[in-house]
């Protein structure tokens, strides 16, 4: 893609951020989301078990499962007597293919939920918002309303592949339940858009 295209994309993003006071923060969250998810990938074990070809395994799972940890220590210490602790095994798994092979039969395959969220709440959401902004340059505030509409949808989908970190609220995880309130904020912005359209049409004439 040409440099001019990307210049136009970021120019529109910046203009939208100036129109509604908090848009800049929203766009920042969207752009930072993939980076945040990649940073915590494998550090926070909240991924549901999976039986899909792209499932991943996290050596940090040994920290939360004493039985798995003992099995891993027993097998890895035969390979190298220095691998007599979970920390040593996790460190060796980064560079030692034999250790990774041993762990592949011990660890639970899981959904790479952080990658799902990076794609949904970061890449896909940004593409949707910038497309909406390029297509509907007026009325102002529409992009912000769409953020509050689309983000909770992406979040609710992403939460499906995560282990709940708090008691459920009905059928919803805490993240899904709190996301529902963002729909009300979206309605508020859409109401503002609807109220401002007649005035803008009059000014255009």
Interval 77-87: pLDDT, tens: 999 999 999 99
pLDDT for 12: 47
More confident residue, 116 or 9: 116
**Per-residue pLDDT tens for 90-103?**
999 999 999 999 99
Task: Name, in order, each residue with C-beta under 8 angstroms of 118's C-beta and a sequence gap of 6 or more.
Answer: 33, 34, 36, 37, 38
pLDDT for 33: 63
Burial class (CB in 10 A: 0-12, 13-18, 19+), 199: exposed
pLDDT for 30: 65
pLDDT for 26: 56
pLDDT for 104: 94
Token pair listed for 41? 């990938």
3-state secondary structure of 119: helix
**Per-residue pLDDT tens for 118-158?**
889 888 988 888 888 778 766 567 888 888 899 899 989 99
Q: Residue 89: pLDDT band by 50, 70, 90 thresholds?
A: very high
pLDDT (mean) for 43-70: 87
Q: How far is CA 23 from CA 18, 54, 69, 129, in A?
A: 7, 35, 46, 11
pLDDT for 4: 54
**Per-residue pLDDT tens for 171-193?**
888 888 888 998 998 888 888 87
3-state secondary structure of 14: helix
Is residue 170 within 8 A of residue 113, CB to CB? The reply is no
Q: Residue 196: pLDDT band by 50, 70, 90 thresholds?
A: confident
pLDDT for 185: 87
Task: Classify residue 96 by its DSSP letter.
Answer: -
pLDDT for 98: 95
Burial class (CB in 10 A: 0-12, 13-18, 19+), 16: buried
Q: Residue 44: pLDDT band by 50, 70, 90 thresholds?
A: low
> Residue 150 and residue 127: Cα distance in Å, rounded?
11
User: Chain-wide mean pLDDT for the chain?
Assistant: 79
């Amino acid at each position: 893609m040409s440099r001019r295209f990307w210049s136009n994309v970021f120019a529109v993003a910046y203009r939208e951020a100036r129109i509604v006071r908090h848009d800049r923060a929203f766009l920042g969250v969207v752009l930072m989301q993939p980076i945040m998810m990649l940073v915590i990938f494998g550090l926070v074990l909240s991924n549901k078990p999976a039986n899909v070809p792209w499932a991943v395994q996290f050596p940090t799972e040994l920290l939360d499962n004493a039985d798995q940890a003992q099995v891993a220590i027993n097998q890895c210490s035969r390979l190298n007597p220095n691998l007599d602790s979970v920390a040593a095994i996790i460190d060796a798994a980064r560079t030692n293919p034999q250790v990774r092979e041993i762990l592949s039969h011990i660890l639970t395959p899981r959904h790479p939920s952080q990658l799902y969220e990076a794609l949904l709440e970061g890449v896909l959401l940004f593409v949707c918002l910038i497309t909406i902004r390029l297509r509907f340059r007026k009325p102002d505030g529409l992009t912000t309303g769409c953020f509050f509409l689309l983000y909770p949808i992406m979040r609710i989908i992403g939460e499906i592949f995560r282990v709940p970190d708090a008691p459920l609220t009905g059928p919803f995880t805490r993240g899904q339940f709190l996301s529902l309130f963002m729909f009300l904020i979206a309605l508020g912005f859409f109401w503002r858009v609807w109220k401002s359209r007649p005035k803008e049409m009059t000014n255009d004439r």
